[in-house]
Amino acid sequence: MNSQDDDGQQNMALGIVFSLVALVVASVIGLGIFKGHRAMATSTGTPSAFSQPAATAATAGAAQAASDAASVTVQNGVVKFYFASGKADLAAGASKALADLVKGAQGGRKLVISGFHDATGDAAQNAGLAKQRAIAVQDLLKASGVNESQIDLRKPEQTAGSNAEARRVEVALL
């Protein structure tokens, strides 16, 4: 009797193992079908319940590509220069964005330039690139007629947030 009980327990253990293997195989196949359907719906433009996440990912990719381009904005009197990854080239319209600050400096006020970088990668290299970006803005201000003695160039600061926010230089009147 003892050997029959052992055989029954072994059969039950093997049944559980085979069931688990079948479950894993079915999950892998199901996931492959799901991804294949989603990819096909995205590439053909056919709307489906699976194509929405892919469209969102494409939109996010376009936003990331746009955020990697150099740009300049003015917010509450502060001019913010955003730089492409690994570059210190100023965006088109940089001089125009600085016009009010240049007038303020010509009226006797000082300007402060603050550079920012993120914490990813080599810290010294990031700080050096942030400094190059701030100097590019300083050179533009000097070319616009601002005396160097009216410009306070601050040490680059590490910042949190998106990569685009980390690759910025801000100019404000003191």
- pLDDT tens sequence across 12-64: 666 676 665 655 555 556 545 544 544 444 344 444 433 333 333 333 333 33
Distance CA 55, CA 48 (A): 11
Residues 17 and 96 in one domain: no
Q: How confident is the model at residue 131, as a pLDDT? A: 92
Residues 6+ apart with CB under 8 A from 72: 79, 80, 81, 82, 90, 91, 93, 94, 97
Q: Is the pLDDT of residue 139 over 80?
A: yes
The rounded mean pLDDT for the chain is 75
SS3 label, residue 6: helix
pLDDT digits (tens, 9 = 90+) for 52-91: 333 333 333 333 334 578 999 999 999 999 998 889 999 9
Q: How confident is the model at residue 85, as a pLDDT? A: 86
Q: Please tell me what DSSP assigns to residue 160.
A: -
CATH of the domain at 98: 3.30.1330.60
Bridge partners (DSSP) listed for residue 79: 74, 171
Task: Tell which of 13, 43, 65 closes a domain.
Answer: 65
Q: How confident is the model at residue 10, as a pLDDT? A: 74
What residue numbers bound the domain in which 90 lies? Answer: 68-173
Residues 127 and 110 in one domain: yes
Q: How confident is the model at residue 43, as a pLDDT? A: 40
Residues 160 and 79 in one domain: yes
Task: Tell which of 21, 44, 65 closes a domain.
Answer: 65
Residues 157 and 79 in one domain: yes
Tokens 């969102």 locate to 56
Least confident of 10-14, 40-44, 101-105, 146-150: 40-44
Residues 75 and 142 in one domain: yes
Residues 89 and 26 in one domain: no
Residues 72 and 148 in one domain: yes
Q: State the sign of the Cα–Cα–Cα–Cα dihedral 94, 99, 103, 109.
A: negative
How large is the angle between the packed helices 99-106 and 123-143, nearest 10 degrees? 70
Residues 122 and 52 in one domain: no
Residues 59 and 137 in one domain: no
Distances (CA, A) of 52 to 34, 39, 47, 55, 137: 13, 11, 8, 5, 42
Task: Tell which of 36, 65, 94 closes a domain.
Answer: 65
Residues 72 and 108 in one domain: yes
Residues 119 and 164 in one domain: yes
Alpha carbons within 13 A on the beta-carbon side of 79: 27
When divided into structural domains, the chain yields a total of: 2
Q: How confident is the model at residue 24, as a pLDDT? A: 57
Calculate mean pLDDT across residues 143-148.
94
Which helix H or strand E contains 129, and what residues bound it?
helix 123-143
Q: Please tell me what DSSP assigns to residue 45.
A: T
Residues 115 and 82 in one domain: yes
Q: How confident is the model at residue 151, as a pLDDT? A: 95
Q: Is the pLDDT of residue 165 over 90?
A: no
- The larger pLDDT score, comparing residue 18 to residue 112, is at 112
